[in-house]
Structure 1
Amino acid sequence: MNTIKVLVTISFLGLFLFSCTRTTTKTFEADFTGEYARIYTGEEVTDCPDGFECRVVVNFEGTATELGNISGTFNFCACGPDGKYDPTDSYFVSEDGDTLFFSCHGKVIEGRTDDHPEFVTSYWRDPFVFLGGTGRFEGASGSGTTDDYNSSEDPNSHHRWTGTITLKK
């Protein structure tokens, strides 16, 4: 009888632990517009690798799956060799106040591709990764690709991201 109780107890504990660590992976899509808040140059540039000549701060708003209405900030080294930017210290804040951290790096390319509207002046299509967060985004992971551009019609950056996000259940 004691053996059965021990096995049942172990089974329930195992089930409980398994259910606490389960995750779900979902499609992630985000559309948002950024406002260049600050561009640091010269001696103002700190904490950037050699070769990066500016630090850029962009505040943004938009929508994203799993987050609803979003706001957030990009803070990254830019003006690097061949238009590179890296590393980013960035995050989304969901409409309920939870934060999702991410990082991306890549290269800004002058001009546009054939699938861009005529008003695109530069673009970047680079990888991003999720780095956890607060609240329901604690332990979040995932990745995807940016599809971003600057425009001759306004002073903003425009962003469309697609990928996957893995969340704890």
Structure 2
Amino acid sequence: MKTLNFVALTALSVSLIFACDVSQAIEGLQQEEVSEITEQEKVAGRWFNRHYRTVPFKANFFTVLNEEEVVANPDACDTPPFTAYNVQDGSGEATHLGRFTTHITFCGDITELLPGDDSPGVLEPGESLPYDSGVGSFIASNGDKLYFTASGEVLPSDHPDYDFEFHDVFIFTGGTGRFAGAKGRGMMDSFVDLATDRTDHRWTGTLKLPK
């Protein structure tokens, strides 16, 4: 019995040592992989910093519904539920742009406003109007353009001067002139007044421009 116990203990010890070695080997490989990825990220970061400069972006502007263009393009949004075409034109001022004009289009889901809804024409708390395929441009006074995309949802607003609001991410996707190759992103703070079809916007973020 003692001999069997000794053999069993020896086997158990060997198994534990082997398992420990395997665990250490796997951990070592994982650390090497993490170090390799980290180094790749560092190289990419250094390349980006050498070729791009990052600057704060802030824009204050307004847009109004371009009803004529909406009516002229009845089939612009044909992917349910995003079938409501919306076109916004406006102007404002932004860092790195100065005075600018803007043109924005997107496709919305207005199900919550339709007659079949419990409260047609009104957004109740908890309801929203999702939108997708948002594309637009800021156009500087010299004609240089800064392109962006966006998607998100329009919410009912508690602000006494507005009916709706939205606070979504926008992404810069390039441009022309001094904005060619531009990248970056930010957040919208936008408020809609239905009586005037006007939306007031305050957008902030970062703009990454090629050096």
Where 1:61 maps in the other structure, the secondary structure is strand
Task: Report how far residue 47 of structure 1 moved.
Answer: 4.1
Q: CA offsets, 1:31-50, max 9 Å, x none? A: 00101112747x91334421
> Closer, same or farther in 2 for the Cα pair 1:80/1:65, shift >3 Å?
same
> Closer, same or farther in 2 for the Cα pair 1:37/1:139, shift >3 Å?
same
Equivalents in 1 of 2:59, 2:169: separation in Å? 14
State the identity as a percent. Answer: 31
Alignment partner of 1:69 is 2:99:
yes
Alignment partner of 1:31 is 2:31:
no
Whichever residue aligns with residue 83 of structure 2, its letter is: E
Say which structure is richer in helix.
Answer: 2
Task: Report how far residue 168 of structure 1 moved.
Answer: 1.0
Map residues 3-152 of structure 1 onto 2, 5 A cutoff.
22-38=51-67, 40=70, 44-80=74-110, 82-112=128-158, 116=159, 118-151=160-193
Regions of 4+ moved over 6 Å: none
CA contact (8 A) 1:119 1:153 kept: no
> Closer, same or farther in 2 for the Cα pair 1:49/1:31, shift >3 Å?
same
Task: Report how far residue 58 of structure 1 moved.
Answer: 0.6
Where 2:143 maps in the other structure, the secondary structure is coil
Q: CA offsets, 1:79-110, max 9 Å, x none? A: 35640111112111012210010001110012
> Closer, same or farther in 2 for the Cα pair 1:27/1:150, shift >3 Å?
same
Where 1:105 maps in the other structure, the secondary structure is strand
TM-score by length of 1: 0.78
Equivalents in 2 of 1:161, 1:104: separation in Å? 12
Where 2:178 maps in the other structure, the secondary structure is helix
Equivalents in 1 of 2:70, 2:96: separation in Å? 33
Q: Which has the higher contact order (CA 8 A, sep 6+)?
A: 1
Equivalents in 1 of 2:93, 2:195: separation in Å? 21
CA contact (8 A) 1:45 1:54 kept: no
Over the residues paired in the alignment, what is the CA RMSD in angstroms? 2.0
Unaligned runs of 5+ in 2: 1-46, 112-127
CA contact (8 A) 2:109 2:131 kept: yes
